[in-house]
Amino acid sequence: AAAVALAGVAYFAAIYLLAGWLAMAIRGVLLRTGRGRLLDPRPVPAGHVAREWRQSALSVLIFGVGIVIPWGFVVQGWATVHPSNPPLRVALELLALLLWNDVHFYAVHRTLHHPRLLHAVHAAHHQSVVTTPWSTYAFHPVEALLLGGVLLPPMLVWSFTPAALVLLPVLSLTYNVIGHSNCRALPLRWRWLSNAQDHHLHHACHRGNYGF
């Protein structure tokens, strides 16, 4: 179990750092070349990114150690994993998992906007009014625990391929990093491909746009 937890932490740390650095680099290029614009042009407050890194480190730890739970499901025989990765099956499973991920995220996120939970839990994430890619995992530990359980219900009802299970966090994180990038680069007619403006408005107004 310790080796599984360590591998989980390393995995989530790796994809988070890679996604964050790539998003920062791409955003810089888009802004320098005039192909993108900041949604909120205000400067990032002092200490803002350092706080996001602290919160994100705890989230990475929770997500990584949390891998022990679905692993335990498999060990105990409560869930199974498909032994291979047929490309079509992986693609269909990823589509199903992405749809479930959006439902799960919306349910958790909307619940956390109840006034009491917003103050006690979700306000930690909304400290990032001017968002950065590092805002993505800047959660209260309770929120990280709730979001980290996304794979548990589907694993109890279906034998997923290893590739689909491994790739879901990558795709989810990628879209979430785009949502926190504070940059719009696509024409309005292509806005449906990016949630950056919608999620920027959510952080600015603290309501609406609860899903990915």
What digits encode the pLDDT tens for the residues 77-122?
999 999 999 999 999 999 999 999 999 999 999 999 999 999 999 9
**Single-letter amino acid, residue 120:** A
11-46 pLDDT, tens digit each: 999 999 999 999 999 999 999 998 888 888 888 888
Average pLDDT over residues 197-206: 70
Q: Output the pLDDT for position 188.
A: 61
Name the band, by pLDDT with cuts 50, 70 and 90, for residue 179: confident
Segment holding 183, helix H or strand E: strand 183-184
Owner of token pair 């696509």: 186
pLDDT at 211: 73
- 3-state secondary structure at position 91: helix
Residue 129, judged by CB atoms within 10 A of its CB (0-12, 13-18, 19+), counts as middle
Residue at token pair 């929120």:
143
Residue 133 reports pLDDT greater than 70: yes
Neighbours of 71 (CB within 10 A): 17
Neighbours of 84 (CB within 10 A): 9
Asked whether residue 193 carries a pLDDT value surpassing 60, the answer given is no
- In this structure, the number of other CB atoms found within 10 A of the CB of residue 45 comes to 12
